Amino acid sequence: MASWGQAGIMLLVIILLGIAGKNYVVAAAAGALLALRLLHGEVLFPILENNAINVGIGFITLAILIPFASGGIGWSELCKILASPTGLVALAMGIFVAYLGGRGVGFLTSQPQVMVGLMVGTIVGVAFFRGVPVGPLIAAGMMALIMGILGYGK
């Protein structure tokens, strides 16, 4: 059991939380990291840490752009959607969320210790509330916004 260590046990707990919450993506991700750890693949951790989020965002963006690529949404549909009240609110929310994400990156750079709470909250949200693990940057942006309003932080 010595090869497991604290990190291995934490990953096992996350796997169990994912299974208990019926979120098999979380369980699989933690399982892959546990397998890398047990196979002494920790050398890949810095590469994954530096690139996995961008690759994941790339895949999400790819999935979102498929209707454009397949011809399902053309110029006329785009203009019609953006001219509707729902489309305008969606446009505003897209801008706001991108803004929050940018603030989140800055906040996490200046106060990296908050990542622990954000990650645990994200794991709980994904495992038990059918969330999607895209929230830490947005959550950090929301934190930066609230902390700024309250007069704390940057």
Q: What is the pLDDT of residues 97-132, one digit of tens each?
A: 888 877 887 787 788 788 778 878 877 887 788 887
- 36 within 8 A of 44, measured Cβ to Cβ: yes
pLDDT at 31: 94
pLDDT at 2: 45
Q: What is the pLDDT of residues 18-40, one digit of tens each?
A: 788 777 887 898 999 999 998 98
Tell me how far CA of residue 41 lies from CA of 36, 93, 144, in angstroms.
Answer: 5, 40, 35
Helix (H, G, I), strand (E, B) or coil at 154: coil
Distance CA 98, CA 106 (A): 13
